Copies of this chain bind each other. A is one copy, B any other.
Amino acid sequence: MGAKTPLVPVADARRMIVERMRVLEAETVPLEKALGRVLASDIVARISHPAADVSAMDGYAVRAADAAASSTLKIAGESAAGHPWSGEVKPGQAVRIFTGAYIPTGADSVVIQEDTTAGDGVVTINAAAVLGQHIRKAGQDFHAGDIGLRAPRRLTARDVGFIGAMNHGEVPVRRRPRVGIISTGDEIVMPGAPVKPGQLASANGPGLYAFAVAHGAEAHHFGIAPDNIDTLRAMLERAGEVDLLLTSGGVSVGDHDLMKQVLGDLGLDLAFHKIAMRPGKPLLFGAIKTAKGTAHVMGLPGNPVAAMICAIMFLGPALAAMQGLPGNAPALRTARLGAPMKANDVREDYIRGSLSTNDDGMLVATPFSRQDSSMVSALARADALIVRPPFAPAANPGDPVSVLPLD
């Protein structure tokens, strides 16, 4: 755990974290609360859609053989959505029909009302019927028993509508991961509080809370721990109430970084400490024993830009994995570089920048001129992170580069 420990590559660190995650249990929520939740089991259609052959238009259900142009048919009844007509359409007959209504027995086609002239108990067909026209076949959308949606899947508004159409009023989803957040440092105050000389307001507390919520978690901010072993230990012991404890600060090499010491006292099972990433090198990951069992611990850097980039690269996949999703790395895109970049060293570099589109319609990524990792303003304004692998050579404007678009 000293300064000379080899740095873990970013992809290895993510894999180690995701492998240690347990998929959380399922719970049932009302359909209207299912948006953004991750499906825990496949959704099987309880009904067929449509349940029978139905009309796609307003008009007349006919036998196509009878419904040549200029033919006149006797209106035998009416079939409306929710009110099927129970008779049979006989030769020479038509049935008034509305969109979504069942096609009556005997009819094989629908003539739209714009192609008819209604008379007294009769209808004149102005355009000959084509066999089968304007009919939606039973089960065209789905049949009862079909698997409509497969788990795992994060549910969209479209999925929610589809699940309703399959006649489910409740949905099995993964429980939200419970995430606890502790910021550390004598210099940190809660936003809105008075700030004395030497202090600053917390970016990590609210930022990590919001990130966790945006990724499906139930987040709890336990507060800011001072640089005091007893207080910090008491706060960490609350970790038993959560699935994953996030700490920020206290994980680099300074004499004032107490986090590792206290985690060690709590029986830290360390997966790794220090990764080959800039910013974010002092990331720590492991688990501690608690009164309630075991809690994962992700020790994020105190630097808020490093902490948020670690959240994007590691916390997002961890939360996805707990919800039963693969926990893949965020998807990268290829862009053209908008400004020169120097050769990279051993650490994978995540550089804040802007995105634009050039005259050829290609994505252009331009690094901000200042990359100091303490600049939360620059991170908030960034469109993307430009990802440079270890030992990437110097690059010039126009060279292809990998980018991680933000939000």
Interfacial residues, chain A to chain B (CB-CB below 8 A) = 3, 31-32, 34-36, 46-47, 49-52, 56, 58, 80-84, 98-102, 113-114, 136, 140-142, 148-149, 155-170, 185-193, 195, 197-211, 213-214, 219, 221, 227, 252-256, 302-304, 308, 311, 334, 361, 370, 372, 374-380, 382, 406-407
Instruction: Report the bound CA distance from A252 to B81 in whole Å.
Output: 13
Answer whether A158 and B198 are a contact pair too, CB < 8 Å, given A31-B191, A192-B169, A374-B50: no
Partner of A207, one of B164, B185, B256: B164
Name the CB-closest residue of B to A253. B58
A213 and B141 alpha carbons, distance in the complex (Å): 26
25 contacts between A and B (CB under 8 A): A3-B114, A46-B201, A47-B201, A49-B377, A51-B199, A81-B198, A82-B186, A82-B188, A82-B198, A99-B303, A101-B198, A140-B374, A141-B372, A156-B214, A157-B407, A158-B379, A161-B207, A161-B208, A161-B304, A162-B203, A164-B202, A164-B204, A164-B206, A167-B191, A334-B361
Evaluate contact between A158 and B380: CB separation under 8 angstroms: yes
A56 / chain B contacts, CB cutoff of 8 Å: 372, 374
Q: Which 4 A-B pairs have the closest CB atoms?
A: A169-B192, A161-B207, A82-B187, A82-B186
Given known contacts A100-B302, A101-B198, what 10 new A-B pairs fall within 8 Å (CB)?
A50-B200, A50-B374, A80-B256, A81-B198, A83-B198, A99-B252, A164-B201, A164-B205, A167-B201, A168-B192
Residue of B with least CB distance to A81: B187
Residue from A51, A114, A164 with most neighbouring chain B CB atoms (10 Å): A164
How many copies of the chain does the oligomer comprise?
Answer: 2
CB pair A84 B148 closer than 8 Å: no
Pair B308/A256 contact, Cβ less than 8 Å = no
The reply to whether A98 and B158 form a contact with Cβ atoms under 8 Å apart is: no
Contact B197 A51 (CB under 8 A): yes
Contacts of A148 in B (CB 8 A): 377, 380
Question: How many angstroms between the C-alpha atoms of A311 and B295 in the bound complex?
Answer: 42
With beta carbons under 8 angstroms apart, the residue of B47, B158, B191, B334 that contacts A169 is B191
Complex contact A227–B165 (CB within 8 A): no
Report yes or no: A376 in contact with B161, Cβ–Cβ below 8 A.
yes
Nearest residue (CB) in B for A156 is B407
| B contact residues around A253 at 8 Å (CB) | 58, 113
Q: Are B141 and A170 in contact (CB under 8 A)?
A: no
Given contacts A47-B200, A227-B82, are A407 and B158 in contact (CB under 8 A)? yes
> Are A158 and B308 within 8 A (Cβ)?
yes
Q: Which residues on the B side are within 8 Å of A200 (C-beta)? A: 47, 49-51, 100, 165
> How far is A167 from B201 in the complex, measured between Cα atoms in Å?
5
Q: Shortest distance in angstroms between A372's beta carbon and chain B's nearest beta carbon?
A: 6
- Alpha-carbon distance between A388 and B168 when the two chains are bound, in angstroms: 34
| Chain B residues within 8 Å of A149, by CB | 380
A191 CB contacts on chain B under 8 angstroms? 31, 163-169
In the complex, what distance in Å separates the CA atom of A144 from the CA atom of B165? 54
